[in-house]
Amino acid sequence: MTLALETVLAKAGLRVTADEFLTLVEDVAKKLSPPHPDPVTYFTPEQQEALAAVGLDLGARREDDFEPRARELAAQTVLMDTALTVTEAARVLDVDASRVRHRLAAGRLAGWKDRGSWRLPTWQFTDKGVLPGLECVLAAMPDDQPQLVLAGFMTTPQPDLLVGDSPGTPRAWLMAGGDPRRVATQAAMLGVPV
């Protein structure tokens, strides 16, 4: 299994050995809350309505479904493994590491502390530096949203952000020169019942 896992990790571009990946999986699995086999019983009627309005299926788990915690675990593991350190982000931006920490403190870059060190998700960077319009979008994002939610939002196609003829992700929209205020308006709604 180790060779197969290493092959999958390499194809995915993850910079981690099979043993390190399994340790990350174990760490994240410990942090996840217990599963709720019937999500409807966990949420209030208002919360159920808000979650259903944004397309979440609150039906009981089907036999052919992936274990929901496994999907979240995989997403968190990829987010953590692909995140940049302050030093790596400084290299990408061609600035001193202190400038990166200053931008983090000012809310001009997204990141989180992991064992005392900053980690910065890669969705906010391009080959040329910072994603265009990032500051506008980050200013609108609610402070209470986890990094996984922000990453999911920025990398999930949105029906009203057309890039060409297809719905684009907020990241693709911004890279294509789209108005960051449209993404900021959507970002401001993260976690808000509709």
In a domain, 169, yes or no: yes
In a domain, 77, yes or no: no
Q: Is 180 exposed, middle or buried (0-12, 13-18, 19+ CB in 10 A)?
A: buried
Q: What is the mean pLDDT of residues 143-164?
A: 92
Same-domain pairing of 97 and 11: no
Same-domain pairing of 28 and 93: no
- Asked if the model's pLDDT at residue 113 lies above 80, the reply is yes
Same-domain pairing of 180 and 92: yes
In a domain, 194, yes or no: no
In a domain, 118, yes or no: yes
Q: What is the mean pLDDT of residues 10-18?
A: 80
User: What are the C-alpha distances in Å from 102 to residues 95, 105, 107?
Assistant: 11, 5, 9
- Asked if the model's pLDDT at residue 181 lies above 80, the reply is yes
Q: CA–CA separation, 21 vs 180, rounded Å?
A: 35
Same-domain pairing of 22 and 108: no
User: What are the C-alpha distances in Å from 59 to residues 24, 65, 73, 81?
Assistant: 29, 11, 21, 31
Q: How many Cβ atoms from other residues are within 10 Å of residue 128's Cβ?
A: 10
Question: What value does the mean pLDDT of the chain take?
Answer: 84
Domain count, the chain: 2
| 88: containing domain | 83-187
In a domain, 6, yes or no: yes
Q: What is the mean pLDDT of residues 100-111?
A: 97
**Residue 82 structure tokens:** 């692909």
Q: Among 9-13, 29-33, 178-182, which is the least confidently predicted range?
A: 29-33
- Asked if the model's pLDDT at residue 194 lies above 70, the reply is no
In a domain, 38, yes or no: yes
In a domain, 120, yes or no: yes
